[in-house]
């Protein structure tokens, strides 16, 4: 329900790649995780050049212009995928980074002025909740094996909740994105998920009694059997489904859970498919009064997003280097692109990511039941 007591139908989009880069959005395959992409840019530009690159990238990738476009197109919510490392360095838990919080503050301020809600989504938790590139992990969901990582996750959320406890633009806190992969050898971790959610929720409630807590199921947010009855107020349960036949059976486990416990459910991520599939899934969700948040807002040269980034000149050379299997110092020395070309190409990329240089995908918006704003036609 919104603050006026009306039912809120979430129509959201995921702000992926901004605060947790993913290789496929750069058209990379082998160089998949934020750590790997950061290493690549340091190899291409040097450490100081890479720092400048990422500072500019974060300043330009999501701006007031992007958010205004989303509001005018008909979205009412943005889901921000966050790597905890923007707030605190992985190897220095005692250090907190003002610039990371300030990036988020600026987004929240813009969204408040524009009338958009914000969902804070911990995409990369301490230790990693799934061990894959999408949590910037280390090959295993160490979060569920490490007391230190769990305590640090509590502290990250406690600080975020203290910062935004009185912020009406923040709709809720999505505690973990896609925890515990589907691999059979990880099934023993499933009973650890809900107790961890309880622990994080208790930490949040010490500073923020108000905001919604969003809980994703195990096995990439698909499995709700790990949940018992809701243990507190203001919980929402989030599911993800990708690349499956769109039938009522696809979401039946979630509607049955909703009806059994009388709690809201929410489709917090899906996409990466044809416009027809997006339309069919969105219509199925709306037929059951389920809010949605598709993925992602922006990536390079594709129709499966809201706006697309044009490919910079010379990008194929960057891609070829990123895809090399050899990773040692000798390989970098032998195969690294010319420094001038790398600088020009990455500088052009930073120009292309700005909203004014991106191309909207009207058919994707239409599949979401939205439309291209007249102010964005070009």
In a domain, 377, yes or no: no
pLDDT at 169: 97
Residue 122's CB is within 10 A of a number of other CB atoms, namely 26
**Mean pLDDT, range 101-126, rounded to an integer:** 98
Percent of the chain with pLDDT over 90: 94
* HEC secondary structure over 90-128: CCCCCCCCHHHHHHHHHHHHHHHHHCCEEEEEEEECCCC
pLDDT at 306: 98
The tokens for 360 are 């909207």
Percent of the chain with pLDDT over 70: 99
Strand 298-300 to 291-294 pairing: unpaired
In a domain, 157, yes or no: yes
pLDDT at 378 over 90: no
- Residue 171 in 3-state DSSP? strand
pLDDT at 328: 81
- Residue 150 in 3-state DSSP? helix
pLDDT at 25 over 70: yes
CA–CA separation, 295 and 242 (whole Å): 10
Q: Which residues, 6 or more positions from 51, have their beta carbon under 8 angstroms from its beta carbon?
A: none
pLDDT at 2 over 90: no
pLDDT at 267 over 80: yes
In a domain, 326, yes or no: yes
**Mean pLDDT, range 69-80, rounded to an integer:** 98
**Nearest to 74, CA basis, from 296, 289, 301, 374:** 374
CA–CA separation, 250 and 25 (whole Å): 27
* pTM greater than the 0.85 cutoff: yes
Please state the φ and ψ torsions of residue 245, each to the nearest 5 degrees: -65, 135
Question: Taking the chain, what is the end-to-end CA distance rounded to the nearest angstrom?
Answer: 37
In a domain, 291, yes or no: yes
The tokens for 112 are 């408040």
CA–CA separation, 366 and 39 (whole Å): 38
Helix 34-61, helix 315-322: angle, nearest 10: 150
> Tens digits of per-residue pLDDT, 124-166?
999 999 999 999 999 999 999 999 999 999 999 999 999 999 9
Domain of residue 319, residue span: 11-368
Region at 136 (left for phi over 0; alpha for psi -120 to 50; beta for the rest): left
> Tens digits of per-residue pLDDT, 38-64?
999 999 999 999 999 999 999 999 999
CA–CA separation, 130 and 182 (whole Å): 9
CA–CA separation, 215 and 172 (whole Å): 10
> Tens digits of per-residue pLDDT, 268-307?
999 999 999 999 999 999 999 999 999 999 999 999 999 9
CA–CA separation, 170 and 173 (whole Å): 8
**Mean pLDDT, range 11-26, rounded to an integer:** 98
Residue 218's CB is within 10 A of a number of other CB atoms, namely 27
pLDDT at 333: 87
In a domain, 249, yes or no: yes
In a domain, 6, yes or no: no
361: number of CA atoms within 13 Å, CB side?
Answer: 22
Average pLDDT in the chain: 96
Number of domains observed in the structure of the chain: 1
Contact 85, 95 (CB under 8 A): no
Order of strands across the sheet that contains 307-309: 298-300, 307-309, 359-360
**Mean pLDDT, range 372-377, rounded to an integer:** 78
Supply the CATH number for residue 284's domain: 3.20.20.80
Peptide bond into 296 cis (omega under 30): yes
pLDDT at 225 over 70: yes
> Tens digits of per-residue pLDDT, 308-349?
999 999 999 999 999 998 878 888 888 999 999 999 999 999
Sign of the alpha-carbon dihedral angle for 327, 331, 333, 336:
negative
Residue with tokens 């958010």: 67
**Nearest to 356, CA basis, from 331, 372, 326, 376:** 376
In a domain, 1, yes or no: no
In a domain, 256, yes or no: yes
pLDDT at 377: 60
Sign of the alpha-carbon dihedral angle for 306, 119, 123, 244:
negative
Sign of the alpha-carbon dihedral angle for 252, 256, 257, 262:
positive
**Nearest to 41, CA basis, from 347, 245, 299:** 347
CA–CA separation, 4 and 7 (whole Å): 9
């Amino acid at each position: 329900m919104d603050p006026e007591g009306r039912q809120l139908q979430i129509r959201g989009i995921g702000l992926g790649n901004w605060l947790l880069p993913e290789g496929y959005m750069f058209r990379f395959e082998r160089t998949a995780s934020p750590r790997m992409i950061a290493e690549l840019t340091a190899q291409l530009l040097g450490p100081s050049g890479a720092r400048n690159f990422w500072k500019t990238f974060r300043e330009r990738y999501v701006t007031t212009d992007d958010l205004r476009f989303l509001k005018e197109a008909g979205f009412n919510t943005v889901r921000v995928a966050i790597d905890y490392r923007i707030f605190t360095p992985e190897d220095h838990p005692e250090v907190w980074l003002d610039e990371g919080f300030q990036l988020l503050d600026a987004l929240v301020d813009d969204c408040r002025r524009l009338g958009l809600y914000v969902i804070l989504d911990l995409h990369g938790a301490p230790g990693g909740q799934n061990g894959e590139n999408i949590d910037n992990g280390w090959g295993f969901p160490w979060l569920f094996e490490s007391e230190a990582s769990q305590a640090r996750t509590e502290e990250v959320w406690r600080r975020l909740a203290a910062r935004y406890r009185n912020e009406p633009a923040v709709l809720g806190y999505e505690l973990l994105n896609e925890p515990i992969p589907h691999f059979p050898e990880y099934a023993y971790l499933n009973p650890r998920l809900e107790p961890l959610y309880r622990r994080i929720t208790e930490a949040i409630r010490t500073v923020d009694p108000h905001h919604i807590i969003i809980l994703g199921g195990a096995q990439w947010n698909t499995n709700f059997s790990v949940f018992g009855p809701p243990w507190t107020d203001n919980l929402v349960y989030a599911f993800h489904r990708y690349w499956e036949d769109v039938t009522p059976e696809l979401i039946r486990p979630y509607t049955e859970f909703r009806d059994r416990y009388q709690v809201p459910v929410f489709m917090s991520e899906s996409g990466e498919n044809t416009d027809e599939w997006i339309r069919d899934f969105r219509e199925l969700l709306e037929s059951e009064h389920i809010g949605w948040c598709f993925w992602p807002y922006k990536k390079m040269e594709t129709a499966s997003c809201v706006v697309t980034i044009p490919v910079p000149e010379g990008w194929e050379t960057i891609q070829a280097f990123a895809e090399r299997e050899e990773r040692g110092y000798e390989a970098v020395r032998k195969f690294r692109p010319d420094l001038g070309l790398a600088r020009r190409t990455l500088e052009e990329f930073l120009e292309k990511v700005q909203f004014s240089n991106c191309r909207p995908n009207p058919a994707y918006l239409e599949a979401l039941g939205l439309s291209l704003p007249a102010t964005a036609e070009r």
